[in-house]
């Protein structure tokens, strides 16, 4: 099984900040990585797929990077709507299609 590890678990930031979340895979997943945003009581929302492709309708302040085993999600100029929990997911191999443990972005 491929294990996904995110850091940090919690990130405190202010509106306007630039933040970066890291996701590491226990073995290479090439660029088969997705990022999701989840708000309380809601289903996850796709932000980024294939490591760096921005989903239609997602603001351009979100960007993804990396390949192999190390990936990043960057949010430039954090907005009030961005305070949420973010998950990475490897899509290289199924069974299981594993997620990171999540990173909660909270208001400083």
Partner 1 sequence: QVQLVQSGAEVREPGASVRLSCKASQYTFTDFYIHWVRQAPGQGLEWMAMINPAGGSTSYTREFQGRLTVTRDTSTTTVYMELSSLKSDDTAVYYCARGRLPSAVTKSSWFDPWGQGTLLTVSS
Question: Residues interacting with partner 1, by CB under 8 A?
Answer: 32, 34, 36, 38, 43-46, 49-50, 55, 87, 89, 91-102
What's the closest the beta carbon of residue 5 comes to partner 1, in angstroms? 12
**Can you list the pairs that 11-15 forms with residues at least 24 positions away whose Cβ atoms lie under 8 Å?**
11/103, 11/104, 11/105, 11/106, 12/106, 12/107, 12/108, 13/78, 13/105, 13/106, 13/107, 13/108, 14/78, 14/107, 14/108, 15/78, 15/79, 15/80, 15/107
Least distance to partner 1, CB of residue 43, Å: 4
Q: Which is nearer to partner 1, 16 or 96 (CB)?
A: 96
For partner 1, the closer CB: 32 or 62: 32
Distance of closest approach, residue 78 Cβ to partner 1, in angstroms: 22
Q: Which two tokens stand for residue 80?
A: 């009030």
Whichever of 44 and 66 has its CB closer to partner 1, that residue is 44
Given the complex with partner 1, which of 68 and 102 has the nearer CB atom? 102
């Amino acid at each position: 099984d491929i294990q996904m590890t995110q850091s940090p678990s919690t990130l405190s930031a202010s509106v306007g900040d630039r933040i970066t979340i890291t996701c590491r895979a226990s073995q290479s997943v090439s660029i088969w990585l997705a990022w999701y945003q989840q708000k309380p009581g809601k289903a996850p929302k796709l932000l980024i797929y294939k490591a760096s492709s921005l989903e239609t309708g997602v603001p351009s302040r979100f960007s993804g990077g990396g390949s192999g085993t190390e990936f990043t999600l960057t949010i430039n100029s954090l907005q009030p709507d961005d305070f949420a929990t973010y998950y990475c997911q490897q899509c290289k191999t199924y069974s299981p299609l594993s997620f990171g443990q999540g990173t909660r972005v909270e208001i400083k």
